[in-house]
Structure formats: C-alpha cells, structure tokens
Structure 1
Amino acid sequence: MTEPTHRVENVATDSHVGVQAGTVHNLTVYERDPWDSPETTFRKGVSFLKGRMPGPARRLINDAMVGYATNEVYFYWLLAMVSRRTRHELTKDEAAQLRGRHALMRLRGEDPWRDGVRIIDRLLESAGKAEEDIRVVVKDLDALREPQRSLILEHLELYLDGPIEDHLWHRALSKAKTDQMTGGRGDRIWKFFHPAPAAPLCRKPRPPETSLGCWARAVAATVVLLMATGHLGYLILQSGRALLMAAYVLGLAGASVGARETAHWRHRVERRRAKDREYRRGRSEVEGGVVGRRMKEQPRRKTKAERGSFARRAEHRINHYFAKYVPRGVDRDDWLVETEGMRRSLGDELTEVYGETRVGVEKIAWLIRHRASEAATRRRKGMLWGYRRELAAPLGTKARAILGLLALAGAGGWAAVGIVPVGPLPAIGTILLLLISGWICSRTWLHIVLEQRRYAADQAESLSAYQGDLEALARWRARLKDKPDDEEMATWLDCDRKVLLEEALRHYKLTMSGVIAHAFIEAPAPGSERARLRGGPWRYKNYQLLVFLVTQEGVRQLTVTLNFLKGTFHDRQRLNYRFEAVASVRVKQSDDGGRDFQLALMNGNEISVEVNSGIEELQQGERPGAVSEVSLDAAGLPHTLHVLEAIAAEGKKWVDQRELRTGNLSAALNDPE
C-alpha cells in the first residue's frame, strides 16, 4: 500500500478562473409544471433518468404512479430505485417498497416492458447467488429486446454484486465501447455547446447631417444665384452680342455638367477616405505617414470601461476568430496588424447594433465567425481592400468635371467680363452677387448632396451585409440542425465513465466483483465551456473525472482529464491510500452555492475538487438551487459521499462488515415478508 507523499489540491477545477458563463438551451425537457398530467410527469421523470439524474427521476415517477400505472411505468420505477446507488443507500421506505414490489406492481398483458420488469426482478433476486444459479437469467437478459436491455445494463451497475455483477459488467462495458463514439459524436457533440443563434440585425445608417440652417442657406443662395444668373443673361441679351450669348449658354452648360460630375467625384473620394479611416487605421501603411493626420480627424475613441462588458467580450471574440481564420500564405501576426482597423470597426458595429439589446455575444458568435471568414476569403482573392478600386473615380467622370468647370470659368467668365463695358454698374453688381451666392450655393448644396449620397451608400451597404448575414445564418442553422439532446450527452459521458473504470480495473489487475465498491466524481476542468437545458445539469467540454476503487487493501484513485468532444483521457494521476489514512470527507458549500468535495488524509494532504461553481445562470421560472442539485446528482456525488464517508467513519471495519450487511440486506429486500 502506498500513500501520496505530496500535497494535492484542486485536482479538478478552480471556478474563480475557470467556468464563468455558459449556454442555456431553451428546451423544457426537464421543467415540471404543477398542472402536468401524471403521464407527462412520468415522461419528465424518464428524461431525468436517461440524463443520469436518478434522484429527481425517482420523485417524479413515484408521483406519476399515483394516477398513471403501466408496465412501462413499473419498469422505469424499478430502474430509478436502483440506479447509480447500492442497497445500502436505500432509505427504509425505499427498502420497504422494493420488498413489497410484487404487491405494488399491477402488471397487465404481455409486452417488452413486462419482460423487462421480469428480468430486473430476477436480477435483483440473483444477487449474491453462485455462478451456476445465474446463467439462465443472464441468457434471458441477452435475449431481451431494446431499449429494455440497454437500460438495464446502464442502471444496475452499482446495485448488483457477486458473480452476476461480472456478467452484467462485461456486457455493459462491451456496449459502452460500441456506443462511445456512435451517433456522429465527433461531428455533433460540439454543437451542444453553441447557443441558438440570434437573428442578425440590420445596422441603421447615420442619418444625413443637414440642419435646417443648412437648407435655409442653400435655398436662399439658390434663389439669389438664379436671380443673378437670369439678370446677367438679360444684360447679355440686351447687348445683342451673339458671341457673349453663346459663351453665356456654354458657361451654364459647363456649370451644370461640372457641378454634377464634381459631386459624383467628390462623393467617391470622401467615401474612400472614410473607408480608409475606418478600416486601415492602425496599419503602418496607411502609407506615406498619413495615419497621424487621419486619426486626428477621428473623434476620441471610448475607453474599454466606457464601451462596457459587451464591447470587451465582442472584441475578444473578434480577435479570436480573426486569429483563427488566417488566409493561406499569410503570417498570423501580419494578418492581425493588417486587419486591426477592420476588427475595431466590426467591434464598433456590433456594440452599436447589439450592445443595448438582450442578445449576448455568444448568440452572435456565428456572425463574428462569418465576418472573419469572409474577410479571410476576400484577402485570399485579393479583394480585401477592393473598395479602393470600386470607389476610384472613372476617368470619364474626372474629365467631364474638369471640362465643365473649365467651360464655366472660361466661357462664363468671358461672357461676364464682356458685358461690363455695356453696363458697368449693373454688370459689376450682378457679377458680385453671382460670385457670392455661387460660392455659398456650391458649398451648401455639395454638403447636402454628399450627405444624401453617403446615407444612400451606407444604407445599400447595410442591406447588402444584412443579406449576407441572413444567408450565413441559414447555413449555420442547417449545420446545427442535428445538435445532440441531453440524453445523448449523458449516454456518451456514461460510456466514457465505463471505459475509464475498465482502464482502472485493468491497471490495478482487479475484477468488478473483486472491488468492494467504486465511485465517480465528475467535475468541470478549468476554463471549460459549458451548456445545459433549462432545468438540466451542466455539461462540459472538458471534465476532470475521479474514480475511486475500494479494495480489501485500501483505496485506489485515478484522476484524468476527459476531452468530452473526442472521448479521450489525458493527464492521468494515480493515488493509493489505506483506509486508516482517510481523515475526513466533506462537501463545502460557499456563499454563492458552489460545492467543493474535500477528502482529507491523515498526513495532512487534501484532495479538493470543485464539482459545482455555484454560478447557475437561472432562467425565468427556474428555482434557485435546482440546477446545482441536478448537476451534483449527475456528477455522482451522492454515491461517492456515501462510500467515502463510510470509510472515513469506520475504516477497515466498514469493509469487513460489508459482506455480512450486503447478504442480510439482499435477503431482506427479496423477502416479501
């Protein structure tokens, strides 16, 4: 026998740096309504049992039996009574119920459920009998239909002892190895930890920044300009000079074309500059040292504290996915530098659109992933900065703008100067009005037109992005369509437990019947993501599993980290200690509801495992403490405490008297008298 020679602390988890939040699926499989019918209550009890939570399953099935009794109900009732516990863990009332089970159950007709009840009854009676006495019942069990046979193998693991225990264990282990990776586990299990994706929201563009004063100046200047232009034409017409009249008309045409094309050109330039400021800030390129100047044009960026927790979580996810989706042939660090401004812009957009809603970052993680993947795809195709080409003004636009303004300045100016000698005073006054009103009119109308075009372009861009997001959402929902249910998650975890137990038995060269008792603790690994159904237990991507084997010589403990997504075990730790080395066993409950399992040894060493962080994240209608209760039940803590507390209290004496107690209890449970 060897005892640990070093101090062991927190073998499982530390919730203060580990699990902080999780996904809660809005399904009502585990929610009980006081108005449920007995049949509905029974079905929910079955769901708890299949989810490896026999405690609430027993309560619900017992309640349902008052008004709903069928062969199926009796089958599941027997399973719930014995699931995940030994005979010694039965209360007096439960032991009395099992003793009087034949009088309690009113079996009717012949169906697979009645066959299952008969097999369970015979298995309970065969406990402790010799090898030759159990062959018939084992043969009948092998011939039993599904799902009754699998359910019996899954839930009678702890209850039976003696030769029958080895027979059932080998069958249960064989089934666990077969089922461990079935049902597309490797491709589906990760989907359980993703929340239902939130629908995308269309970003509302900033409205045109045109005040009433701006419109008033534009209208007034336009009226004056038209009047001055008309008066100048009247003076030229009165002069009777054909060349001045032709120049006047050419100047008007040049003004019309030049103003239209200049506005189009300026819109492209301004939008390209805005995109550069938005996407390319932070890049050492914003080539030619223009970063400093452009950043000065930006308003002060809010600090992280000002942007709030949503912005921080969004930023973390954005950085994660941009670091994950890196274009082929591009260094990750270079990619992050290149997309710094783009990532900030996306963070600002998400904070603006979703920051004030109830939608959490986890529910739009698919959107962030889509945008990051889309950016990598555009970079791979050489289109990441494609807007610069798209917004470059065509040569035709530039030529028409320049020629129009030249025509206005040349022909219009010549016509204005040419009319001065004819009527100096009226001509000069008209020209001054033209220049002043034209200057004011061009500036105000250019601002109005640019704002209108900017708004229209932003709106079109938002709609285009929204359509792309909707298509990405449809693809993501289709991918999550085969998300596993909680029963499948519980089944896979149970298979992992059995495979680990078999590894421990093989390592210590033990048989199942040669082990006095065995127990498990399932706890979250540090930092593991988690998810659950409403009213159900937390399931984790990574677990710390502890298996305890109680033998005649002492306790064998194996601790591993389980990668639940892949069903693989890592970081094995083995400890052996005598019964006398166990000083105390307890569960410490913190103020926030967290539960720590603590096993203290006589040499001062302590094994501490946090099996429940206390962070329940209750949904509407959920009772405080209910999630912790079912999570602890699913983690196997009640049975583990029963075994280890008995060892701490009685030591080797508990082991010596166990066989006598088990034999007497078996006889009592199978004796209706």
Structure 2
Amino acid sequence: MSPARREGRSAEVRNEAGGNATIGVQGVVYGDVRYEVKSEDPPERKFWVAKNCLAGGMPRRAEELIQEVFQVGFARPPSTLANEVAFHWVLAVLGDRSFELLGHEEFGDIERARTLAADGPADDWRRALDVLLELVDCLRLQERTGRDHPERLDACFAGFDGLSESLREEIRRHLDLILTGAIQDHLDARFAEVVRRARTADRREERVWKFFEPEPAEPQPIPVREPGLEVLQQTAAAGGALLGGGALILSFALLALLSVKAAVIVGVVLVAGGGLLAFCLPSHFPKRYSAFAPRNPGPKDPDFAARVEEIVRRQFARRAPEDALRGAGWHVAMGRFRARLAEELVDLYSRPGTEPSTIEWLADWHAKKIARRWRSGELRDTRRVVKWLGVVPGAGVTAFTVLSMLWKIYQSEPRITQVAVGGFLGGALLLALGRADVHLWSRITYTRNRSEAETRTREEREAYERRVALLDDRPDDADMVRWLDYDKIYLRRLAMNQHGLANRDVVAHAVLTEAAPQARRARFSNGPPRFSAYRVWIFLFTLDGVREINVRLDFPTGIAQDQQRIEFRYDVIAAARVTEVGLRFDDGHREIILPRAERPGEGAKERRDAGPSSFILFQEFRLTLTSGEPISITVENLDGAILEDDQNRVPDDSEFTGALRILEAVAADGRDWIARARKRRDHRDHRGHAHASSNGDRP
C-alpha cells in the first residue's frame, strides 16, 4: 500500500527543482503526518513522531523530541514505555555520530536514558538497550586503555546475537559511524551476507521507481456538447436564417424568371457543393466543431498549460518509431492528436491544487493507446482524406455557382441583386455568430459523441484503477532509508577492500550523499528528499591520511558506477569550507541565513541554536588540497518551493552534519584531529564530572 494511503492522507505534489535537477524534473511531496508534530501535541504523539524520524534517517530530530518528552516526565517508571524510550533515545544520540566527536552532552543523555530504564521490566527493549550501553562502555574503555577487552566484547556480542533480527538491524544501521576495530570486524563478519541480501530485499528494483511517482489524479468525465443555443445565439441564428433564406429565395425567383433550366442546375450544384463543404468543414475547424464542451471556458494558467503540453509532447515522443522515416510520419500524424489531448487535459484539470505531474499517467495512457491504433492501421481513415481533399472543390463549386447566379440576375435587376447580396452576407454573418452550423452538427453527432465519451470515461477509470493498484506497494520512506543505509555500508566495505584496508586501519569514516544530475526526487512532508540516483562520497581516515572514493549510485538497482578515487595526506589539505544557505522561521517570519563564512564570531553553540526553526537550502563542503584540486560536495540541495507551506517542519540534516563535523575537524587539525578530539571530549567529561559531583548527580 502506498505511504499516503497507509496514513489515510492524499499525496500532495509540489514542483521541486534543485541545483542538480533540470527544468521539467518534478518532485513529489507526500502530505503525510508521520514527521509532523506541534508544540501542543501530547508526549505519546511526539514519541511516535520521534520513532518515525529515527526510522527515516533523522536522528537529530528524534533526539530533540525524545528529550522534550523526557523533560515532561513521559515514560518515567513505573511506565511500561521506559525501556522503549530509553533504547530509542540512546540510538538517536549515537546515530550518525562519530565516537571521536561525542561530548559531555551526548554522554549525559546516554546516562539519563540508562537511569530511566534502571527499574524497567526485563523485556526485549531492555535487552537491546543493555547491548547499546555495553557497546558504549566498551568503546570508552577501549579509548582510555588503548586496547580491546575481549571478555567484555564477547559478552556484548552474545547479547547482540540474542536480540531479534529487527533490533539487530536497527543497531547495525544507526551505529555505522561509531563502530570501529574489533567491534566492526565482528559485525561485518556476521552481517556481510545480511547486507548483501538486504540491499535488494523486498523487491527493491520493482518498487523504488514508484516512490517518485505522484498519486494519479482521478480521470474527469469528458463533457459532451449539448445541442442547443443561448438566447442571443438563437436570435442571431434566426435572423441569419431569415436574411439568408430570403436572399436565396429572391435570387432563385429572379433566376427562374430568366431561365428555369438554369435555376434547376444552380440548385442541384448548390446542394451538392454545400453538402460536400458541410461534410468537410468540421475536419478543418476541429476546435469550432469539437464534440466536447469546455468545462472551464475562462483563461487558463499559462504555466500549467505549458507544462501539460510538454508532458503530452514527451509522452508522444516516447512512442515514436525508431526508424527515421516512420518516426517523421508519426510526428506529422500525431500533431492533431497531441494538440487536442493537451487542450482537453488543460481544460479538465486546470484548477487550483492540481499539479501537471499527477495527470502524466493519463497522457501516457492516451499516447500508448493512440500508438497501438496507429501501428495497427486503425487511424488510416480514408474518409479523412476525402474530407481534406473535398473542401477545396466543395468551396470552389459553391462560391462559383453563387457568383454566377448573382452575376446573371445582376445583369437583369441590379438593384434587387444588391439587396440579395446584402442578404447573403448579413445572413452568413449572423449564422456564424449564432453558431447555427455548430448546433446542427452537434444534433447530428450527439448520440455518437455521447457514446464515445462514455466509453472513454469507462476506459480511463479502468486505467486509473490499474495505475492505483500498480502503485499500491510503493515503498515507505523508512524503506528508502533502510536501502540507502545498506548501500552506504556496502560501499564503505567496497572502498576499504579496494584500498586494502581492514577495520583496524580505519580510525573513522564519513559517508556523504548528494543528488546525482537529472535525478528524480520525492519526500515526505517535513522530511528530507530522496533521490532516484545519488553521488556517494566515502572518506576513510587512517593514521597515514585520507582515502576518498566517490561513485554514482543508481538507487532502484543499487548499482554503483563511474567510480573515482583519490588519496592524500593530512598535511596537503590547504583549506576547508562549509557553506550553508537557508531561511530562518523565527516568530513566524522568514529571514535569510547567511553562509557560515559571513557570520563572524559565531561559535558552535550559536550554530546549533540556529535550528530547529532554520531551514538549510543547501550545505556545501569544499576541501582544497595544496595542489589546487578541490573536493566539492553539495550535501543538500532543496528548492525554495518547499517553503511555500509555512507549516512544513524543517527537514533533519543528521546525515550530512554528522559526517561534516568529522571532515571539518580533519581539515582544521590535520593528522592530530583524533588526539585533539579525544582531548576536547576528556576535558568536557572532566568538567561534566565536576559539575555532577557538586550537584550530587550522575552524569
């Protein structure tokens, strides 16, 4: 079932075109509530959203919400939720963070979670929490002593192996940045096959493309033109009929006085020529004689109309034969079909709230149907050729006969002929203004047109139901994140193998993703965007230097290609810069956030306090080596159209801020970044212990 339908909400579609997207590449925004929370919501609701954020790859947002519910006393003992809250709290604190950059605040939250679950029941959540806490304790002990402690690690691994598969997966995915050395070796050995299977599990290739498809708009019935005229049209048509009919009778009477034979011949020729002309004219003026009445006759949004026309053109172009000659014939033959379909779609769906992308499925369905008919020869209508060829002789014969008749009677009665000519011209003009010809054609074809409209509506409804059924197993946002997490783990292992590195050789690593050029995009409301293709950057930090590999990841298939690799020492880093540009929503007002380089004197605390009311449009990391070669990564790139809804919550930027903190530290401190990070944390821990001792609290 599609994610929007699971929550009982429709998908809201907005146009998003980021820096790597091109015009015409649209994005889907699901109007879902899983990431939506308000200040007045109860703690239960906030905790539910926090778990969704954690599953959706937004641990910083989850951490913030869990801290909120903890501060108001939610899940305190004897609540049965204490263990579950504590587990997710620790998971959120550690998620997408390197151990070297954990500080007093983070370890303080871990201890508060430990205390929260101290008296909780011995359930699965408690056992999973104990494994998490033991992992943290092992890492801290390993850092202080400089060596592994096999007996404690074995006990921790035994507890880990005893957890359910879903809990093991959560721990493995969220703690990828924090695990190193022997712990990482153990988990890699156990999870190598799991990662390989999980990357393509749940029919990934068959389902991922559906995530980027908007909810299809329901087909609208085609309104058939009803035979009938308005009062003014009836008046004009009646006047035109009187004038024209009177002029014709007068002309025939005068001609019959001169020659009965000539009058009979003219009458026969006029009937034949006029009939041929009436048979051919609707083909030459399809808009005037269209069987379908406009539902919205007023002016249309030009941008909407242009985008619909582009969609129709693109769908018909996809069906063109590969052969150049047949392709040229296809484009010529399809001109009228494209124009008519685009006009109908613009008329039927041009209303507020409708995005052109939601009717692309309908344009595609019509294009395929017409292509089938064209290939089978159904569209080779010989009557159409007759209509196109018959209009010239029909119009010519009719005009020549009328002029000959008028010239004949003019020679006898010039004044009366002038009256007849005036009657002909006035009658023709009034008949045209009164749309008498359209009314007569509608009466003749109404039954056939109504039957065709009913058939088309029924077929479109059947196609819509098939489309909805096809998209029913659209992957959830959590599915997309899970696949991407496993891709990162797989690509990190691939990079290590290609560089001949083991876990003990890698002090830390960072994985960044950015949208690949031409990638499709979609996101849940208040959540980060997902892309159909990524550029993935893997940085491996060793004692000797940095190994970097970047690949293009085709997300539906999980295939990585276009690989590029580079190695460099810490001392060749010339400069590093992180640029952030976004908007702030303080007091309900929008304010431009300047790039970090343009905010002098701003410290880490101030940067941290810029959230949660700030929205980062893009964040670019640029690392320059002494050789002048830059490494530039745009780790986020969103379109300002996302911000049109003031109720949209700021998407979490956990993935790239966690990795960028490592990269910034490496760029600033060079080879000494690890020792300095540990020293800074030890200093913060020392101050935290001193503060806790003075207050009688446990940090």
Amino acid at match of 2:642: L
Shift of 1:16: 7.5
Contact in 1 for aligned 2:31/2:525 (Cα 8 Å):
yes
2:53 is aligned with 1:45 = no
Contact in 2 for aligned 1:157/1:169 (Cα 8 Å):
no
Shift of 1:203: 4.9
SS in 2 for 1:523: strand
C-alpha spacing 1:388/1:106, structure 2 compared with 1 (3 Å): farther
Whole-angstrom CA distance in 1 between matches of 2:520 and 2:362: 19
Whole-angstrom CA distance in 2 between matches of 1:522 and 1:278: 55
Aligned counterpart in structure 2 of residue 56 of structure 1, from 46, 50, 61: 61
Amino acid at match of 1:312: A
2:365 corresponds in structure 1 to 370
Amino acid at match of 1:348: E
Higher relative contact order (CA 8 A, sep 6+): 1
Aligned counterpart in structure 1 of residue 340 of structure 2, from 336, 339, 345: 345
2:195 corresponds in structure 1 to 176
Aligned counterpart in structure 2 of residue 583 of structure 1, from 558, 574, 583: 574
1:86 corresponds in structure 2 to 98
C-alpha spacing 1:530/1:435, structure 2 compared with 1 (3 Å): closer
Amino acid at match of 1:156: L
SS in 2 for 1:594: strand
Amino acid at match of 2:359: I
2:476 is aligned with 1:471 = no
Whole-angstrom CA distance in 1 between matches of 2:386 and 2:47: 66
2:666 is aligned with 1:647 = yes
C-alpha spacing 1:148/1:625, structure 2 compared with 1 (3 Å): closer
1:451 corresponds in structure 2 to 438
**Deviation larger for 563-572 or 112-121:** 112-121
Whole-angstrom CA distance in 2 between matches of 1:224 and 1:334: 48
* Per-residue Cα deviation, 1:174-230 (whole angstroms, up to 9, x for no partner): 3221111111111111111111112233455678698244333267469989x99xx
**Deviation larger for 438-447 or 210-219:** 438-447
2:564 corresponds in structure 1 to 573
Shift of 1:133: 3.5
2:255 corresponds in structure 1 to none
Amino acid at match of 1:162: G
| Identity across matched positions, percent | 27
C-alpha spacing 1:434/1:604, structure 2 compared with 1 (3 Å): closer
1:530 corresponds in structure 2 to 521
Shift of 1:99: 3.5
Please give the residue correspondences for 1:241-252 in structure 2 after superposition, counting only pairs within 5 Å: none
SS in 2 for 1:72: helix
Contact in 2 for aligned 1:580/1:651 (Cα 8 Å):
yes
Whole-angstrom CA distance in 2 between matches of 1:199 and 1:170: 50
Shift of 1:462: 4.9
2:171 is aligned with 1:152 = yes
C-alpha spacing 1:35/1:222, structure 2 compared with 1 (3 Å): same
Amino acid at match of 1:322: F
Shift of 1:444: 8.0
Say which one has the larger Rg: 1
C-alpha spacing 1:619/1:602, structure 2 compared with 1 (3 Å): closer
Shift of 1:488: 0.4
C-alpha spacing 1:90/1:382, structure 2 compared with 1 (3 Å): same
SS in 2 for 1:144: coil
Aligned counterpart in structure 1 of residue 280 of structure 2, from 253, 265, 269: 269
2:148 is aligned with 1:118 = no
Shift of 1:666: 10
2:631 corresponds in structure 1 to 607
Aligned length: 578
Whole-angstrom CA distance in 2 between matches of 1:507 and 1:325: 43
1:33 corresponds in structure 2 to 38
Amino acid at match of 1:653: D
Contact in 1 for aligned 2:282/2:289 (Cα 8 Å):
no
Please give the residue correspondences for 1:336-485 in structure 2 after superposition, counting only pairs within 5 Å: 336-355=331-350, 357-386=352-381, 388=383, 450-455=437-442, 457=445, 460=450, 462-485=453-476
Whole-angstrom CA distance in 1 between matches of 2:273 and 2:73: 84
SS in 1 for 2:641: coil
2:318 corresponds in structure 1 to 324
Whole-angstrom CA distance in 2 between matches of 1:637 and 1:599: 15
**Deviation larger for 197-206 or 559-568:** 197-206
Whole-angstrom CA distance in 2 between matches of 1:614 and 1:276: 42
SS in 2 for 1:481: helix
5+ residue gaps, structure 2, are: 1-17, 76-80, 143-147, 251-263, 291-299, 389-418, 583-591, 593-616, 690-696
Whole-angstrom CA distance in 2 between matches of 1:538 and 1:324: 28
2:109 corresponds in structure 1 to 97
2:615 is aligned with 1:594 = no
Shift of 1:623: 5.2
Shift of 1:68: 3.2
TM-score (structure 1 length as normaliser)? 0.74
1:214 corresponds in structure 2 to 236
Shift of 1:274: 3.7
2:502 corresponds in structure 1 to 511
Contact in 2 for aligned 1:535/1:622 (Cα 8 Å):
no
Whole-angstrom CA distance in 2 between matches of 1:84 and 1:531: 22
Whole-angstrom CA distance in 2 between matches of 1:46 and 1:264: 74
SS in 2 for 1:196: coil
Contact in 2 for aligned 1:87/1:662 (Cα 8 Å):
no
* Per-residue Cα deviation, 1:555-601 (whole angstroms, up to 9, x for no partner): 00001111112111111110111101122322213478332221122
Please give the residue correspondences for 1:177-326 in structure 2 after superposition, counting only pairs within 5 Å: 177-204=196-223, 211-217=233-239, 220=242, 268-274=279-285, 308-326=302-320
Whole-angstrom CA distance in 2 between matches of 1:63 and 1:319: 52
1:294 corresponds in structure 2 to none
C-alpha spacing 1:14/1:606, structure 2 compared with 1 (3 Å): farther
Whole-angstrom CA distance in 2 between matches of 1:266 and 1:521: 69
Whole-angstrom CA distance in 2 between matches of 1:643 and 1:442: 82
Contact in 2 for aligned 1:173/1:498 (Cα 8 Å):
no
C-alpha spacing 1:639/1:319, structure 2 compared with 1 (3 Å): same
Contact in 2 for aligned 1:153/1:171 (Cα 8 Å):
no
Whole-angstrom CA distance in 2 between matches of 1:571 and 1:194: 26
SS in 2 for 1:198: coil
SS in 2 for 1:359: coil
SS in 2 for 1:644: helix
Shift of 1:441: 9.1
Amino acid at match of 1:214: A
Contact in 2 for aligned 1:162/1:513 (Cα 8 Å):
yes
* Per-residue Cα deviation, 1:451-483 (whole angstroms, up to 9, x for no partner): 124446486355544443333222211111111
Whole-angstrom CA distance in 2 between matches of 1:82 and 1:107: 23
**Deviation larger for 451-460 or 438-447:** 438-447
Whole-angstrom CA distance in 2 between matches of 1:559 and 1:19: 27
TM-score (structure 2 length as normaliser)? 0.71
2:253 corresponds in structure 1 to none
SS in 2 for 1:43: helix
Amino acid at match of 2:42: S
SS in 1 for 2:633: strand
Shift of 1:107: 4.3
Amino acid at match of 2:656: L
Shift of 1:155: 1.4
Whole-angstrom CA distance in 1 between matches of 2:664 and 2:115: 35
Amino acid at match of 2:74: Y
SS in 2 for 1:618: helix
Whole-angstrom CA distance in 2 between matches of 1:206 and 1:435: 33
Amino acid at match of 1:39: E
C-alpha spacing 1:657/1:589, structure 2 compared with 1 (3 Å): closer
Amino acid at match of 1:182: A
2:477 is aligned with 1:486 = yes
Contact in 2 for aligned 1:278/1:341 (Cα 8 Å):
no
Shift of 1:24: 0.8
2:545 corresponds in structure 1 to 554
Contact in 2 for aligned 1:87/1:665 (Cα 8 Å):
no
